[in-house]
Structures are given as C-alpha cells and as structure tokens.
Structure 1
Amino acid sequence: MTGTNDAATAGIDDLSFEQARDELGRVVAELEQGAPTLEQSLALWERGEALAARCEQWLMGAKQRLDAARDAAEGGEA
C-alpha cells in the first residue's frame, strides 16, 4: 500500500495555500459522495490528510512571518 500513499501525496509540496485548500475542498466533497471502492476512499483520505498538513504548513509560516514583523515593529518603537 506504499504506492497508494505516494500517489495520494504526489505534488502536494509544490501547492500554494490556495491550491491546497481548494483541492482539499474537492477531496472532502468526493469523500462525502462516497468513492466506489474502499481503496479509492483510503487514497482520498490520505490525500486529504496531506493537503490539510500542507495548509497548516502555510498557515504556520504566515504566523511566523507576522510574529517576526510585529517583533521588528515593536523593537523599532523602543
């Protein structure tokens, strides 16, 4: 089943936040409709988990940038 996981997560590291978010929405919608086989459902679930992790990476990076900018601004005012 390793091949399934590789296919399910292929290309995710190259996605922008918006691309990952939009694809995650499509994956969730497809899961809600029900995949024809258990294997397809598992592949969708794995891809959804990977997409959610990618979105979280983007959000954590944005938070770090905002924190750094805020710290720099506060340091300039002192």
Structure 2
Amino acid sequence: MKKVKFEEALNRLEKIVKQFEENELGLEESLKLFEEGIKLSAICQDKLNEVSKKIEILTKFNEDGSLEKKTFEVSGEI
C-alpha cells in the first residue's frame, strides 16, 4: 500500500466499517475490504506508535528554571 497519511487511512477505514454495517456486500467484496481494513488498521497503529514515541510531557521546572521533559508512553491498546 502506498504511503498514506493517518487521517486518510482512518477515513478510509471508517468508510469500510460503514459498508460492513450496511450489510450489502458480497463474499468476495467483503474479503477484499476486510484485507484492506486490516492493512489500514496496521498503518494507523504504526503511525500512532510513532507519534507516541515523539510526544513529550512537560512535567515540572528544574532548579535551573528549565522544563523537565518526560517521554510519553502509551499503555495498552489504542
């Protein structure tokens, strides 16, 4: 799958879910969309994991007046 932005992947995934909820898909189309959805879900999860590694939480001021930074870690599944 080409490089996709998080928002694009999420929007497409939401459209796929809606199609499943409408229950108007044949077996072959369902399988095709399911596979696409799994790939999109993995893209979203990878991007969320990547972002969570970059997020820093400012926790307090150090004695020298600088801000102490703590890396944000995601606990559990997103």
Range of TM-score over shorter length:
0.5 to 0.7
Stretches (4+) displaced over 2 A: none
Cα RMSD of the aligned pairs, angstroms, is 2.3
Percent pairwise identity: 28
TM-score with structure 2 length normalisation?
Answer: 0.67
What number of residue pairs does the alignment pair up?
62
Residue 62 of structure 1, aligned match among 38, 47, 51: 51
Q: Does 1:19 align with 2:8?
A: yes
Distance in 2 between residues matched to 1:45 and 1:54, nearest whole Å: 14
TM-score with structure 1 length normalisation?
Answer: 0.67
Structure with the largest fraction of helix: 1
Q: Bigger radius of gyration, 1 or 2?
A: 2
Q: What are structure 2's unaligned runs of at least 5 residues?
A: 58-67, 71-78
Q: Does 1:74 align with 2:72?
A: no
